[in-house]
Amino acid sequence: MSTTQSVPRRQLGPGGPDVPVLALGSWNTWDRMEFDDAVALIARAAELDCAFFDVAYYNMGPHAENARTDLIFGRAVREAGLARADWQFCGKLWLWDYPTTGFTEQMETSLERVGVERADTVVVGDYFGELDVARVVTDVAEQIEAGRFDTWGVNNWQYRDLRAAIDIARERGLVPPTFAQLKYGLVRRSMAEGDYYAPLFDSGELALQASDVFEGGMLVGNLKPARKIGADVGGIRERIAASFGEVQRLAESLGASPAQLGIAFCLANPGTANVLVGVSRQAQLEDNVGAIALLDRVGAEALREAVAGLWLDRDVAADGTW
């Protein structure tokens, strides 16, 4: 039976939009579904008030995979009958080939592929090595001035570069990043809850957007994912796979599914604006929405206490230096 519960909203950082606490990603999702199922899933997300979609053109660096997920999404959201005002679009700007491939070219390509004129916000990342932070801030500001989006965030940046981006933007009267999209969940907490990023979230200077919360599906029972999944920061993936039994046990003790437990944990952190999930079936979305009721029923403090032993990346650098 489909739930009728709607998804509450939180602000995506200072000056950012109000967004649903549950949001849908696009990496290896829309291209793994039958098209009619994708249309139905998008329509259902809108009914549940969680029509926030992180949609990227995966074409650079380790994501140079010629994925069609953004093209499929664009067709599906139109087929679902959603007006542009009915859904929020979070795009991505990649730093792998930047500035050779600039932000204007990237945005024009991404918007054309999805079939819209603008995004609501974008995430800028990933990168390794040195970053010309001032140039990034200036180039992002040019895209905002051109009307291609209003706000922006960063994805897995080193803290020093994030701090510099905020300070440079303020000094120059430009829009600073308002959120950080980080790997965050039951087993990976060091970056989001460590001494660098956490004070930004606690003070409200920045909001947290949680991603890869299920470790590519491993924390919901898919221990050997067939699809490509995110980087194994710190080399702890075997330990993560071994922890699933405890995740399942704790979820059952709380009358919940492992997915609900993982999402509820993220939302128990008041700095979290929303959680990105990769769903390819409507039943998964319905189950995920149940995390909101779980958090309401158990309470943030009790839930965090129950899962305290699942934190596995304590030794991973908290400042984003992988």
- Whole-model pTM: value is 0.95
Q: Side chain identity at 307, as an amino acid letter?
A: V
Q: Which of 1-5, 25-29, 287-291 has the lowest mean pLDDT?
A: 1-5
Give the per-residue pLDDT at 80.
Answer: 98
Q: Pairing between strand 88-93 and 9-11?
A: unpaired
- The one-character DSSP state at 235 is S
Q: pLDDT of 95-144, one tens digit each?
A: 999 999 999 999 999 999 999 999 999 999 988 889 999 999 999 999 99
Give the per-residue pLDDT at 27.
Answer: 86
Asked if residue 188 has pLDDT above 80, the reply is yes
Greater confidence (311 vs 232) lies with 311
Give the per-residue pLDDT at 244.
Answer: 94
Task: Give the other-Cβ count within 10 Å of 35's Cβ.
Answer: 12
Give the per-residue pLDDT at 1.
Answer: 39
The chain-wide mean pLDDT, for the chain, equals 94
CATH 3.90.1200.10, domain 17-177, yes or no: no
Where does CATH 3.20.20.100 sit in the chain? 17-177
Rounded distance between C-alpha atoms, residue 176 and residue 14, angstroms:
10
Give the per-residue pLDDT at 226.
Answer: 65
- Residue identified by tokens 């259902």 is 44
Q: pLDDT of 278-309, one tens digit each?
A: 999 999 999 999 999 999 999 999 999 999 99
